[in-house]
Structure 1
Amino acid sequence: MVEQSRIQDTIPPLKISEFGKDTFLIDMGKNLTGWVEMHFSGLEKAQEIKLDYCDHLSEDGKFTDRNYYDKYIASGTGPEVFKNKFNYHAFRHIRVSGLQEMPQPNAIKAYLIHTDYEATSGFECSDPDLNQIHDMLLYTFRCLSISGNLVDCPHIERLGYGGDGNASTVTAQTMYNLGPLYTNWLQAWADVIREDGGMPHTAPNPYAAGGGPYWCGFIITATWNTFLNYGDTLLLNKHYPAMQKWLEYVDKYSIDGLLKRWPDTDYRAWYLGDWATPDGIDQTAEASVDVVNNSFLSVCFDNMKRIARVLEKPEDEKMYAKKMEQLQKKIHEVFFEEQDNTYGTGTQIDLAYPMIAGVVPENLQEKVTESFYNETNNNRKGHLACGLVGLPVITEWAVKNQAAELMYSMLKKREYPGFLYMIDNGATTTWEHWNGHRSRIHNCYNGIGSWFYQAVGGIRPVEDVPAYQKVHIQPQIPEGVTWVKTFLETPNGKLAVNWELGENTLQMDIEIPVGTEAGIALPSGVKEYTLENTDYQLKENETNVVPLKSGRYKISYKM
């Protein structure tokens, strides 16, 4: 069901240095997942060479020892080559002990290995900081996918966590052709559902890993997103019964219309809302956990309504629409704080999730949005202040509400917590925690990546239309970005948007593949535009969306 894992790149060492008696430190220059090949000469029979691996050094330059190593016992019969093909490692640094002399650079190489999927995207802009963040996200996925699914981290746990997966699915499927990988991974999820409908937090499911409903519900949301990205209705048909069965399990633990904590089991532990939040955020607060999980459940009901529509099950569609509406009203009734227009604990995720989950009444949208800005700019000093669940939620909210300036300002922060803080502290892959604790090759914080394509690049699939058959093109331009080059290889072919901001004028070069319809949205107030050297003027009451079929176009307008 999925491509084989293959060697994708060969990486030479950046630096080799002495690290103690008969011990040397090899720095590969960046994190990677795969194999190491070392050539030895002059070894004695039975001489032991130990290779320890880690993804970062401590602040004082010490090796981060996780008892994570290979051991080679020499034959002593001349030139020898070690390459452990029976396992793999995720690392940047290798501590080699037992050698009498420093190894030469040409005696060492590493192989980046991952499932043999195709890259299907590209993003570049005038801001080097945005490019660095984007490229770090892009590369991180290549270090998480050696096994036909996406793992949390490839060295400590190697588990296909549904929470990390949900957080990164839209970004991962935008950047790469992961149709076969998700077909494989979703089958693993269908395989681990229990007889009573209970779901674990990871698939495959070797032990009671931690998580919460956002982890279990991967079977619904990831299946729906895979359909939207690749148009695969077979997955919807195949996994619909498992989705329904899990929602029946959820009903058992709903009290007065709201999902509450369910028991730990021998295959599942904890009950999280958000996870891996920065200092100052209480991710365990009951109000926050309940707002997050019930907002997610509202999204699940919405997905199920849409899936039922695709599968032509009108009664199910009505049922899930009703469940969604009832839950939305209940969340608002229980968790809305009228005095300050917040939900739950008032953190970023507790405000953004109700907004994208349809909880916030229309007449309160503006006030809750103001609360979100206040929480971000005043209480959090303009930083992202959420964990793995919050990042894709805030990203989706920002795209839909054209909050490009706010998102841009959060991404540009160089202090803790933030992506540039990671990069300034040597990150080549995203971390498990904002402060760098534990893993520094991780799938926690990759959900932000879709913003580069959907907001700054301006390519958004039309809601409910799969496989980019219809797209909405509307670049969201933060002050400080002057040009962008973006493309996606869709199931229909290459879709590209390149724009450049001149003196009060935006020039776009657009490529639309055969079988795709695009609507180019002009900003509010723009009444004139130029398309292929012909000037047009919008008539009174005419929509500001310019429809285009397949082809290559130049369009420009005064800002």
Structure 2
Amino acid sequence: MVVRRWMLLVAVLMSLVGERAVADAPPAECSIAAVDLECEHLIDPLGIDVVRPQLSWRIAATEPQRRALRQTAYQILVASRAEDLDRNAADLWDSGKQETQSTQHIEYNGAPLEPGMACYWKVKVWDQEDVASDWSQPAQWTMGPTAGGEWTAPWIGAAEAKPESGNAWDPWFRKRLTIDGDVQRAELQVASVGYHELYVNGQRISDTVLAPAVSNHRKRARYVTYDIAPALQPGENVIALWLGTGWSIYPAYQTDDKPAQPIVSAEGSIELAGQPAVDVRTDETWLTHPSSNKLIGTWKFRDFGGELQDTTREVPNWNQLDFDDTAWQPATVYRPKLAISAEMVEPNRVIESIEPVEVVEVNEGEYRVDMGRNFVGLIEVDVEAPPGGSVEILSSEMLESPCTWSLRNTLVVGPSGQGTFRSRFNYHSGRWLTIRGVSRKPELSDVRGYLVRSDFGRTGQFESSNELLNDIYDTTLWTLENLALGGYLVDCPQRERMGYGGDGHATINTALTNYDAAAFYTKWNQDWHDVQYDSGYLPYTAPTYWGGGGPGWSGFCVVLPWETFRQYGDRRILEQSWPTIERWLGFLEAHSEDDMLVRWKSQGDGIADQWAFLSDWLWPGADGTNSGTRETLMFNNAYWLYNLKLAAAIADELGKSDEAAALRQRASTIRDAVHAEFYDADDHSYAGGMQAHMALALLADLPPEAERPLVMDRLEREIAEVRDGHIHAGITGGAMLFKLLMREQRDDLIATMATQTDFPSWGYMLDNGATTIWECWEPESGRPGHSKLHSSYLYVGAWPIMGLAGIRPGEEPGFAAFEIRPGIIDGLHWVKASYDAPTGHIESSWRKQDGEVELTVVVPPNTTATLHLPTSRKITESGKALDQAEGLTNVRRSEETTLLDVASGTYEFRWPVD
């Protein structure tokens, strides 16, 4: 009994010691943290119009050396004041602890949000051991007028008057207001048809340019929200606007309820300490005056022109408080029927400076400036000229021509004989500038260029042992960046500036793989909805209407939301797109006979019939429109099947099982008819083996199951033997070819095409002096009159990361679970790549060295990867067998491959070179 009591006493003492030790130990630290907070794909957006916005964040490791880190729960706080959030008081929403791994697209579920509200938020997370993190850094968004809400400010403009020649001078506007108190917060929403700049008390508000994003001005205008509080002062103030003509005169946007000139509508509120808020809105009391700037050109095909800037018309201090505006005229009120919505996309900004490399005199008083590479954006040119004289500044993308596509500017110099031309409401495109009318040769320092594009972030990085591939990759992305202006991808920035759906296929995977383009494509997706006709027909460009195409152009309305959803996991884009997709498929059905599409004619869109039913476009040696050929009919019917296939997948995601089943049943019937009509059983081919047509047939599941390997073999022979390793596809078809070959992991075939240097190839373009990708494979002598900066063949820019590094979406959209399928091919010694996914930083880099393949993989916290290794030989990870390595599960082996699931962490794999 004594022994038992003694043992009990010892146990109690030990327990007390243990409790004291636990009490004295520091609390466990969370192994993860929430970072990179976003609202509706944007960082701290101002003036959104979504009443239940989606919130997202990434998970970072606070202990990077650990593996299998994950979030098990989160808590979000949203407050109407920053100081309340600092003390964890959430008057708008406290989500409570939500046990889930979800970090993306968390829908706000708090108190109703009203226009003008500020919302401050932060999040904390719990890790795999249920340890809570610290609160994240705070983020914010503000509410603008919401969709469907009342926009109260009238539209104003200058008095409508047709100038005697050319365009009207871009107008200025001013409004004085008095503020009796200290400003606490002030935002102004500015919607315009045409471009605008905003000033408060002479201070330019925002570093954005060419605002707002381009929209279909038959139906919509977008407002930009500006924080004007820092520029306001107690007492008298002046708000000023400078409008630029731009898209306001674009022929396709003209309607009877608005003038063919820039107009603006602005409204906002200035919150004061202890005083009623001061409302600001445009109306007839604003004053207007012509500026010193006007558009040169007609803002349409081949004549987007430039700007005339007349320094003799400049009015110093026109936007400042002490300016005498008594001679200005009252603004004219207009009443267009336009939906007004928020510009929820990254604005245009100056991204990079371009310095000239050479100035040469080509004729007496005429100088050519070489900017070193083709680019799109703003230019600044300091000049000396006779007082009152005019200086011409011409843009060209061809050395032999002083001006291409009518891109030209004029500066009228004042009495000083000196002046500076600065692009304001139009942009340059080209490599060379020709300057005429100056008194002296410009110095290199007198000329400056600036790349301008939508300011989305870079997410993909790639380099390899092959310098040609590196150059092609870099040139492709440089080209794409020069096409991303105004919230959509233009086909070419100098001649057309159209948002072609066919070209959208050629660029979307490259853009999604290399840039944070979720907001960009969400906006462009709405543009496609806006241009749809009541019949379901879609023009071939959005938001711009004009231009030729066919099913593969308009059908981008299905591909865009699907690819964006796969990359970012935002299901809303599918929900918003479904009505447009249904109407589009209805249009196709109405233009079919005997289960096949038939060629349609122009749909009242001003396009000649020959341009209304194109298939692939601009393959090597292509001649004419090819809209009436049998190959075109085959391609377009296969594309119809491809649209149906993706639409059925979208219906599945939306829980529309009946619709999905009906779409698949319809596709089955069409597939039988199209295959019977176009398949050459002896050759196992469609369209005589054309690469694009064969690839699209396989993507659309056109061949019966037993025939698919034979068709794939025939496609391989077409590439490797018939075309001697060269690509023989165009814009839309080439995108389909690369999509198929990446799906089939035929990186060897892509590498063969991508590393050619003779015609046709990307290397051939670079060897012929290209600094941006051309519109067609042929050099200028082969197809004169085509663009030298174009979206045509940019699909090659997705392959280095998706193919060679193998980073690609998995079964679960948005990269919560993803795949890594490294393309380890002959001829390459090493590849280094990374992708900043919506869920975090991914790396996949491999090297062949000393008879082994070394593969480094980084999987971000709270995600998993399925790793496809192209070997069945002995594989180690950090020197250990796979079954002994932490973080690796579900190893599956076949004769040629090994698959395994990989938790978060950094891994080093090795295996013998096969």
Measured against the shorter chain, the TM-score band is over 0.9
2:467 corresponds to which of 128, 134, 144: 128
Q: Secondary structure at the match of 2:828?
A: coil
* Counterpart contact for 2:539–2:545, Cα < 8 Å: no
Match of 2:17 in 1: none
| CA 1:283–1:333: 2 relative to 1, 3 Å | farther
Q: Secondary structure at the match of 1:528?
A: coil
Long gaps (5+) in structure 2: 1-343, 884-890
Q: Secondary structure at the match of 1:225?
A: helix
Q: Does 1:49 align with 2:49?
A: no
1:483 corresponds to which of 830, 841, 859: 830
Name the structure where strand makes up a greater proportion of residues.
Answer: 2
Q: Does 1:461 align with 2:802?
A: no
Distance 1:83 1:386 in 2: 41
* Counterpart contact for 2:802–2:808, Cα < 8 Å: yes
Letter in 2 for 1:411: A
Superposed displacement of residue 434, structure 1: 0.8
Trace 1:57-68 onto structure 2 (pairs within 5 A).
57=399, 61-63=400-402, 65-68=404-407
Superposed displacement of residue 400, structure 1: 2.2
Q: Does 1:448 align with 2:796?
A: yes
Distance 1:275 1:149 in 2: 20
Distance 1:353 1:539 in 2: 31
Superposed displacement of residue 516, structure 1: 1.9
Match of 1:504 in 2: 851
| CA 1:163–1:88: 2 relative to 1, 3 Å | same
Letter in 1 for 2:376: T
Letter in 2 for 1:533: G
Q: Secondary structure at the match of 1:96?
A: strand
Superposed displacement of residue 148, structure 1: 1.1
* Counterpart contact for 1:12–1:109, Cα < 8 Å: yes
Match of 1:517 in 2: 864
Distance 1:167 1:116 in 2: 21
Distance 1:218 1:458 in 2: 25
Trace 1:89-488 onto structure 2 (pairs within 5 A).
89-207=428-546, 209-267=547-605, 268=607, 269-279=611-621, 284=626, 286-436=629-779, 437=784, 438-463=786-811, 465-488=812-835
Distance 2:838 2:637 in 1: 34
Distance 1:107 1:63 in 2: 19
Q: Which shows bigger deviation, 358-367 or 297-306?
A: 358-367
Superposed displacement of residue 45, structure 1: 1.9
Superposed displacement of residue 350, structure 1: 1.8
Distance 1:434 1:173 in 2: 24
Superposed displacement of residue 66, structure 1: 2.9
Q: Secondary structure at the match of 1:345?
A: helix
* Counterpart contact for 2:387–2:417, Cα < 8 Å: no
Name the structure where helix makes up a greater proportion of residues.
Answer: 1
2:360 corresponds to which of 17, 30, 36: 17
* Counterpart contact for 1:274–1:283, Cα < 8 Å: no
Distance 2:863 2:598 in 1: 43
* Counterpart contact for 1:283–1:289, Cα < 8 Å: no
Superposed displacement of residue 412, structure 1: 1.6
Cα-to-partner distance string for 1:437-484 (whole Å, 9 max, x where unaligned): 410111111112221112111212224x21112222121122110111
Superposed displacement of residue 177, structure 1: 0.9
| CA 1:197–1:552: 2 relative to 1, 3 Å | same
* Counterpart contact for 1:115–1:147, Cα < 8 Å: yes
Superposed displacement of residue 84, structure 1: 2.1
Letter in 2 for 1:133: I
Distance 1:489 1:555 in 2: 21
| CA 1:539–1:393: 2 relative to 1, 3 Å | closer
Match of 2:413 in 1: 74
Number of residue-to-residue matches in the alignment: 552
Q: Does 1:553 align with 2:907?
A: yes
| CA 1:252–1:540: 2 relative to 1, 3 Å | closer
* Counterpart contact for 1:254–1:260, Cα < 8 Å: yes
Distance 2:586 2:691 in 1: 30
Superposed displacement of residue 182, structure 1: 1.0
* Counterpart contact for 2:892–2:898, Cα < 8 Å: no
Letter in 2 for 1:455: G
Cα-to-partner distance string for 1:402-457 (whole Å, 9 max, x where unaligned): 22222211112111111001111111111111114410111111112221112111
Distance 1:22 1:108 in 2: 16
Letter in 1 for 2:387: K
Q: Secondary structure at the match of 1:499?
A: strand
Distance 1:539 1:45 in 2: 79
Long gaps (5+) in structure 1: none
Distance 1:16 1:175 in 2: 35
* Counterpart contact for 1:395–1:450, Cα < 8 Å: no
Distance 1:412 1:540 in 2: 32
TM-score between the two structures when normalised by the length of structure 2: 0.59
Letter in 2 for 1:226: T
Q: Which structure exhibits the higher relative contact order, with contacts defined as CA atoms closer than 8 Å and separated by 6 or more residues?
A: 1
Superposed displacement of residue 201, structure 1: 0.2
Superposed displacement of residue 540, structure 1: 7.6
Match of 2:898 in 1: 544
Q: Secondary structure at the match of 1:26?
A: strand
Distance 2:541 2:492 in 1: 13
* Counterpart contact for 2:464–2:470, Cα < 8 Å: yes
Cα-to-partner distance string for 1:253-297 (whole Å, 9 max, x where unaligned): 111111121121232542100001111688726222122112222
* Counterpart contact for 1:281–1:386, Cα < 8 Å: no
| CA 1:468–1:283: 2 relative to 1, 3 Å | farther
* Counterpart contact for 2:592–2:598, Cα < 8 Å: yes
Letter in 2 for 1:215: W
Letter in 1 for 2:409: D
Q: Secondary structure at the match of 2:448?
A: strand
Superposed displacement of residue 76, structure 1: 2.7
Distance 2:625 2:846 in 1: 40
| CA 1:539–1:399: 2 relative to 1, 3 Å | closer
Q: Secondary structure at the match of 2:351?
A: strand
Superposed displacement of residue 544, structure 1: 2.4
Distance 1:282 1:521 in 2: 44
Letter in 1 for 2:412: I
Superposed displacement of residue 539, structure 1: 8.2
Superposed displacement of residue 541, structure 1: 7.2
Distance 1:101 1:353 in 2: 57
Distance 2:619 2:601 in 1: 24
State which structure, 1 or 2, has the greater radius of gyration over its C-alpha atoms: 2
Q: Which shows bigger deviation, 323-332 or 408-417?
A: 323-332
Q: Secondary structure at the match of 2:650?
A: helix
Percent sequence identity over aligned pairs: 30
Match of 1:3 in 2: 346
Distance 2:403 2:490 in 1: 21
Cα-to-partner distance string for 1:162-195 (whole Å, 9 max, x where unaligned): 1101221111111111111111111111001111
Distance 1:392 1:206 in 2: 22
TM-score between the two structures when normalised by the length of structure 1: 0.95
* Counterpart contact for 1:277–1:283, Cα < 8 Å: no
* Counterpart contact for 2:806–2:844, Cα < 8 Å: yes
Distance 1:428 1:5 in 2: 22
Superposed displacement of residue 3, structure 1: 1.2
* Counterpart contact for 1:281–1:385, Cα < 8 Å: no
Q: How large is the RMSD of aligned CA atoms in angstroms? A: 1.8
